[in-house]
Structure 1
Amino acid sequence: MERELARTPSPTPTELAEINAPLYDLTRWKRKEAWLKWRLVPWYIVIIVLVTGATLLTVFNKEIIAFIQPAAVWLHTRPQKFGWIIPVALLVILSFPPLFGHGVIAIVCGIVWGLGVGFALVCIGTLLGEIANYYAFKSCCRGRAEKLEENRPYYACLARVVRTGGFKVALMVRLSAIPSHFATAVFATCGMKMWVFLLAAVLSLPKQFVIVYLGVILNDASRDDADAAKDKSNKTERIISDIVAAASVLVTIGSLWWINRELKRVKPSVMADRRRARLAALRRQVSDPEMVMFAATQVYATPETALASSASAVMVSQPVPLVLAEDRRLHVA
């Protein structure tokens, strides 16, 4: 029996199809029925809200900043000792998905506190928020992530890439345009170590520096009455924004390409581990007398004949057919 069960089971037809299938099956989205499902309505609402908010922040950023600037100045002048706690607290709260708005708070910090202090406040709020986000998802969603890893091959491959890639994966994702708080949730549930995540978060903070600097430029432009100075500031702002956007797009494309390549690389080993897990479960069933009785009752009509047949099967080591997966059977002595 040990010799029969030592071999890793062959892939089932479903697993063979999953191994040979592309990671992203886009063909099903060609059908109209795939889009018209009630379970997708919340996702549509979230996407519409995010796109609308990002568009408003991009088009009317100066108007929004001018509207909130009096309140921001009040934070800096009135409670002189504790006003800085408010933007830090807002950054921590906005670190939990699906909330967003880090960029607006970072720009406000640049307007009110300047480049040095503003960047320090953004760093503190960002790190505290990401750490809280990491531990929240690790403690509350770990069980759900383990079930997804058992049942979803794609998520199992992603978890394997995150664990084996380590620091490289964390840094590339955080430097890309992928929202950092969503990436933190994935890292936490996939089992990334805390020190790896924290080091990548610290090294990706220069992204926040650029956003704070944009706030400083906007503040300088609003204070200067000369049209030439305003035009120069606006031109500098546009150049910096374009450079940051282009760099983010390039890093994002490179990160997604590399992660997709790693997912394809680990896919065969993940499928092999799933088959080994199925073999271990089969061993536990065979070694359990109750499971032998259960298998016998599935074949024979009455409990008496099932009991006699199962006892004789154990005495003479007659093979008992157990369903392995779909149309495949493994005869275990």
Structure 2
Amino acid sequence: MLRHYTGVVWNRYHKLHIAGKLFIWFLFLFYISFGIFVVVVTPARIAQFLYDKARLLAATRLGWLGLIATMVCVSFPPLIGHTTLVTLCGFAYGMEGFYIALAGSIIGSGLVFSVLRLLFSKRIRAWSAQNEKWQALESVRAKGLPLIILIRVSPFPPWVYANSLFASIEPVRFWQFIVATLFISPKLLLHVFIGSKMAALSDGDQRGRMDTRDKIINGLLVGGGIVIAVFTSWWVYTLVQSHIRHLHGLPAETDELAAEAIEEFDEDAPLLSPGPGAGARSTESLV
């Protein structure tokens, strides 16, 4: 299993253009530098600084509205940061941050879906007409709302690209997309919970009032929440891929192409391509 996914990652890395490879190395160096920064400054000081800023945000009159607006912005590709902002909702507002996270997620994804669908309806049809994998994915859509929901709660494609993915599948209706998006509520709740527990451990005053047992429990809750999030994400993604590849009533070739369309969807396909000819280039890159 590990060898398989390592091979997949390695192959995708080699298919990247030079700019993509440089970006990967930039991220690698960034995280190395960030790790050194954390060690030098100390996690306690960084955590306290973040907690103080989060409390300032929570005390701001319309801080929650600014947080929702930011979530709407990062719902548009190629921006990232949705999961971080959801965790920040819990970090700043506790479990009440769930309502902020849910509102920002629904409004942001719905707006992305509507804008991309209205502005790029012709490109969607042109893309679908020349891309076998997209035609297969639109055939899978005939299996109804349950499968749409399953794909929506999958961690891959990532949040921002999943929004453009559904906008690209012309048979998917807006109401189906919104209903499917509501099913990510448990995931949002989990990340808000993790954020709320991280806040309790980040504040020196709260941490000082905790005994060793409380610190261990809170630490285990944060760690356990992260493990659950990673495990469920992997499980749901595996379930989606397996389900699509074994759909009844569709040819095996269609199932396989649809699964590949989801697995390989990125910023090149199809609404985010730079020009009319990009569709053909993206099709070639997927083969």
Distance 1:135 1:91 in 2: 16
Within the candidate set 225, 235, 249, 2:220 is matched to 235
Give the match's secondary structure for 2:17: helix
Give the match's secondary structure for 1:224: helix
| Structure 2 letter corresponding to 1:127 | I
Q: Which residue is equivalent to 2:239?
A: 254
Distance 1:42 1:165 in 2: 38
1:124 deviation in Å? Answer: 0.6
Distance 1:253 1:131 in 2: 26
1:92 deviation in Å? Answer: 0.5
1:264 deviation in Å? Answer: 4.8
Distance 2:241 2:29 in 1: 25
Report the RMSD for the aligned CA atoms in angstroms: 3.3
Within the candidate set 50, 64, 80, 1:68 is matched to 50
Are the counterparts in 2 of residues 166 and 196 from structure 1 also a CA contact under 8 Å? no
Q: Which residue is equivalent to 2:146?
A: 168
Within the candidate set 125, 133, 156, 1:146 is matched to 125
Distance 2:225 2:22 in 1: 32
TM-score normalised per structure 2: 0.70
Task: List aligned pairs for 1:59-208, cutoff 5 A.
Answer: 66-77=48-59, 79-80=60-61, 82-116=62-96, 118-161=97-140, 163-178=141-156, 179-191=158-170, 192-208=172-188
> CA 1:112–1:188 in 2, change beyond 3 Å: closer, same or farther?
same
> CA 1:98–1:46 in 2, change beyond 3 Å: closer, same or farther?
farther
Give the match's secondary structure for 2:77: coil
> CA 1:68–1:141 in 2, change beyond 3 Å: closer, same or farther?
farther
- What is the CA deviation profile of residues 48-84 of structure 1, one whole-angstrom value per residue up to 9, with x for unaligned ones? 5677789969x9798765443332222222x32x121
Q: Which residue is equivalent to 1:22?
A: none
Q: Which residue is equivalent to 1:267?
A: 254
Which structure has the larger Rg?
Answer: 1
1:203 deviation in Å? Answer: 1.8
Are the counterparts in 2 of residues 159 and 190 from structure 1 also a CA contact under 8 Å? yes
TM-score normalised per structure 1: 0.61
- What is the CA deviation profile of residues 200-257 of structure 1, one whole-angstrom value per residue up to 9, with x for unaligned ones? 1012211010000001111222322233321221112212221221111111111022
Q: Which sections of structure 2, spanning at least 5 residues, go unmatched?
A: 1-6, 258-287
| Structure 2 letter corresponding to 1:134 | F
Once the two structures are aligned, what percentage of the paired residues are identical? 21
> CA 1:216–1:62 in 2, change beyond 3 Å: closer, same or farther?
farther
Distance 1:52 1:202 in 2: 37
Are the counterparts in 1 of residues 102 and 185 from structure 2 also a CA contact under 8 Å? yes
Q: Which residue is equivalent to 2:273?
A: none
Q: Which sections of structure 1, spanning at least 5 residues, go unmatched?
A: 1-25, 271-333
Distance 2:231 2:221 in 1: 15
Distance 1:65 1:182 in 2: 30
Most deviating of 130-139 and 45-54: 45-54
Are the counterparts in 1 of residues 51 and 199 from structure 2 also a CA contact under 8 Å? no
Aligned length: 233
Q: Which residue is equivalent to 2:21?
A: 44
Higher normalized contact order (CA 8 Å, seq sep 6+, divided by chain length): 2
Q: Which residue is equivalent to 1:326?
A: none
> CA 1:139–1:182 in 2, change beyond 3 Å: closer, same or farther?
same
- What is the CA deviation profile of residues 88-117 of structure 1, one whole-angstrom value per residue up to 9, with x for unaligned ones? 11111111122211222222221221102x
> CA 1:147–1:47 in 2, change beyond 3 Å: closer, same or farther?
farther
Distance 1:135 1:169 in 2: 21
Distance 1:142 1:63 in 2: 50
